[in-house]
Structure 1
Amino acid sequence: MAIKYTFYFILIPAFTAIVLFIFRIQIPSDNHIPRMRGIHSSWIQEHETGYQFNDYDRHCRKGYFQLNNDGVCHPWLTCKDIQYNVTPIKRIGEGGIKKVYLASWKEYNVSLVRLHHKDWISQLLFSSQANNMQQFQPSPFVTQFLGFCPSFPALVTEYHRFGSLDNINRILKEQNEDNVATRFRISLDYVKIINFLHSSPTGTHVMCDSSNLNKTLSQFLVTSDLHVVVNDLDMLPVTPHMAHFDEKTDIWKIPAVVEYLMGNGFYGRHVVFMLSKLHQKCRSIDPKLRPTAAEVLKGYLDVQQRLKVILSNNS
């Protein structure tokens, strides 16, 4: 099946997006811990090694963070902490309005994001990124938030050395993990993240800042244990507030993303074939005919069980 590198999306008027951000940015209460709907509290066993990832094993309660699985929960960093105790080491990325640095805090490597355009729209988007990240903490699906200073302005998050998901082919090759089980696990992570955003207690969120495959992949990071977290959350509208645009846009993107993630190997192509009927529904021209994220996730979990049988019979 050919990989589609271009998505067809409905353009969002800039004015609508700006108004949306003005009315939805908020700092959530530290006592509110989002709960996931439609996803089991523990991820099912997803690799032939028996590795299992538990939703909250590596996360402290809201308002705190943990690094390197060291068991220590640190309070979110204040402006003073960020300004005086977070030291940039080198620049590792740059976007339209921000620059990303590998930085150090105490003995830890962290990511420091600095705003390099000071116009009010850029500041609004940057604050939206920080607040969206805050409201989803703690979650295995979202980059871990460490601190934010709006007056600096700077955002500090957990550092993931493998970088973004658009580097997945190189990452898997270097880690000797280029196999169908790992690729499907990563694909399943992506679908779980979309389902998490669509079933969030704060509303149905849509990843509207992704106009092509590379842009979509760049919004996700690969963790050290080869899982995936969403990182770019500056444009994440709640669908009831935006006319002519809903969560079914995210559903349309799923087939092309997964077809890329599964690679060109024999088993990868076979998995894509197993998903073909589901992907055909995802690509329905009429958004109403596309499945929900929960329905897509169920279909992927069914394929996962079939894939385990195939790999077991061929081991």
Structure 2
Amino acid sequence: MHPVSARHVVILSLILLLLHLLHNLRIWLVPHANHQSGLLHVEKDDIWGLNFQGTAIPDVVDEVEEWQGVDKLGEWGLCPPGSFRLATMETCTPWLGCKEISDDVTVQTKIAQGAVKKIYKATWRGHTLAYSNLSNTAYLQDFLHGVEMLWNMQQTSHIVQLVGSCNTTLLTEYYRLGSAFHIKAILDRTSSDVRTRFNVAMSYIEAIHFLHNSPVGTRVMCDSYNLLHALSQFLVTEDLRLVLNDLDDIPEVNPEENVFVKCKRKHIKSPFNAPEQRWPFENEPFEDSRMPPYDEKIDIWKIPLVVRHLLGKVNGSDVVSSHLFQVHQRCRKRDPKQRPSATVVLKEYKRIRNMLFPE
């Protein structure tokens, strides 16, 4: 056996180091591609103090496009990070930035307005979009938070698709059927089939599950203080699914870090809200400083009421409700620790779907 020289040892070590670096680079690129779309290019602005740039950091997007191809669809038919594809498009296109929005987008009629933003119907190269603008500068941080959440949550079909952004302008996919605030009328008009209604309810559960297991931590639907307002946070797709549209008020909870939330910071009385959201000292005036915080289990409490509304009173809805009774009973436990997680609820819904509506 020939002795190994110091030169050979150095060469071998360099080769092993190079292989290790290449392997780590590949690992870094693939999972981080799902998060880089959430990075915001922020610059100083004389008016707002912040200037949202409507495109992801260029070198990150270029690497992602090189890895997967910007015109190719990834898993679940979704575009790679930093790009979008509308139903009327054949290929994926990079998110629109300030120049593209200014040059190519035509704003048409106003279709909705809330405290945070005004929403208009708009067109871009023949495609219809939803064009949102900040309504009130007092809600600037809420608006920017909603945009940031959209950036971070694009790799799922449960969140409205981001098309582009620039400063206090946001472009998203347009849904003809509009807000789920009108879901009862939409379902009464389009379908009396209990299977379709159950699938609508499933899409709601899936969206809640995604929020509770999102890439940016466990998020809570704070802007859901009554049934119709909770549904107004969603849009209805052509195939009658619910996709979460309003991400302005979805704070993070993290029990391990002792991070909890208090929604609305006012005296909440409606039984639609979880018991822990209501003032616990009946004979004393409300004081926000004394109000205990809570976690994502407030979303679980509301599931039975939302689903009952979605199922309606059509043929077969009573049968479905009877099968959902046990899991819904657990969702309505007064002690939030006794309520199931969104993962457990979704698993039970899938079991019931496979039993009642086999493919």
TM-based fold match above 0.5: yes
Q: How does 1:72-221 map to 2 (within 5 A)?
A: 72-119=91-138, 122-150=139-167, 153-175=168-190, 177-221=191-235
> Pick from 61, 71, 85: which aligns with 2:80?
61
* CA deviation after TM superposition for structure 1 residue 255, in Å: 0.6
State the partner residue of 1:44.
Answer: none
State the partner residue of 1:14.
Answer: none
Asked whether the equivalents of residues 184 and 309 of structure 2 are also in contact (C-alpha less than 8 Å), the reply is: no
State the partner residue of 2:275.
Answer: none
**Secondary structure of residue in 1 paired with 2:224:** coil
**Secondary structure of residue in 1 paired with 2:206:** helix
Change (3 A) 1:73 1:91: same
**Secondary structure of residue in 1 paired with 2:327:** helix
> Pick from 35, 40, 50: which aligns with 1:27?
40
Asked whether the equivalents of residues 187 and 258 of structure 1 are also in contact (C-alpha less than 8 Å), the reply is: yes
State the structure with more CA Rg: 2
User: Following the alignment from structure 1 to structure 2, what is the Cα–Cα distance between the partners of residues 270 and 281?
Assistant: 19
* CA deviation after TM superposition for structure 1 residue 266, in Å: 3.2
Give unmatched runs, 5+ long, in structure 2. Answer: 1-37, 42-55, 62-72, 262-292
* CA deviation after TM superposition for structure 1 residue 226, in Å: 1.4
User: Following the alignment from structure 2 to structure 1, what is the Cα–Cα distance between the partners of residues 188 and 124?
Assistant: 31
1:261 matched to 2:310: yes
State the partner residue of 1:282.
Answer: 331
May I ask how many residue pairs the two structures share in their alignment?
A: 260
* CA deviation after TM superposition for structure 1 residue 220, in Å: 0.7
User: Following the alignment from structure 2 to structure 1, what is the Cα–Cα distance between the partners of residues 74 and 221?
Assistant: 22
State the partner residue of 2:69.
Answer: none
1:294 matched to 2:343: yes
1:229 matched to 2:278: no
Asked whether the equivalents of residues 88 and 127 of structure 2 are also in contact (C-alpha less than 8 Å), the reply is: no
**Secondary structure of residue in 1 paired with 2:111:** strand
**Secondary structure of residue in 1 paired with 2:219:** coil
* CA deviation after TM superposition for structure 1 residue 277, in Å: 1.2
TM-score by length of 2: 0.68
**Secondary structure of residue in 2 paired with 1:221:** strand
State the partner residue of 2:65.
Answer: none
The C-alpha deviation readout for 1:164-211, integer Å capped at 9, x for no partner, is: 112122222333x22101000010011011111111232111111110
User: Following the alignment from structure 2 to structure 1, what is the Cα–Cα distance between the partners of residues 304 and 314?
Assistant: 17
User: Following the alignment from structure 1 to structure 2, what is the Cα–Cα distance between the partners of residues 67 and 82?
Assistant: 16
Give unmatched runs, 5+ long, in structure 1. Answer: 1-24, 33-53
**Secondary structure of residue in 1 paired with 2:137:** coil
User: Following the alignment from structure 1 to structure 2, what is the Cα–Cα distance between the partners of residues 113 and 92?
Assistant: 10
Asked whether the equivalents of residues 102 and 110 of structure 1 are also in contact (C-alpha less than 8 Å), the reply is: yes
* CA deviation after TM superposition for structure 1 residue 57, in Å: 4.2
* CA deviation after TM superposition for structure 1 residue 59, in Å: 2.0
More helix by share: 2
* CA deviation after TM superposition for structure 1 residue 233, in Å: 0.3
Asked whether the equivalents of residues 55 and 139 of structure 1 are also in contact (C-alpha less than 8 Å), the reply is: no
Asked whether the equivalents of residues 55 and 140 of structure 1 are also in contact (C-alpha less than 8 Å), the reply is: no
**Secondary structure of residue in 2 paired with 1:275:** helix
Asked whether the equivalents of residues 95 and 164 of structure 2 are also in contact (C-alpha less than 8 Å), the reply is: yes
Change (3 A) 1:145 1:212: same
User: Following the alignment from structure 1 to structure 2, what is the Cα–Cα distance between the partners of residues 114 and 200?
Assistant: 26
The C-alpha deviation readout for 1:44-81, integer Å capped at 9, x for no partner, is: xxxxxxxxxx9944421010000115321111111122
**Secondary structure of residue in 1 paired with 2:316:** helix
1:70 matched to 2:57: no
* CA deviation after TM superposition for structure 1 residue 138, in Å: 2.5
User: Following the alignment from structure 1 to structure 2, what is the Cα–Cα distance between the partners of residues 84 and 92?
Assistant: 22
TM-score by length of 1: 0.78
Change (3 A) 1:55 1:188: farther
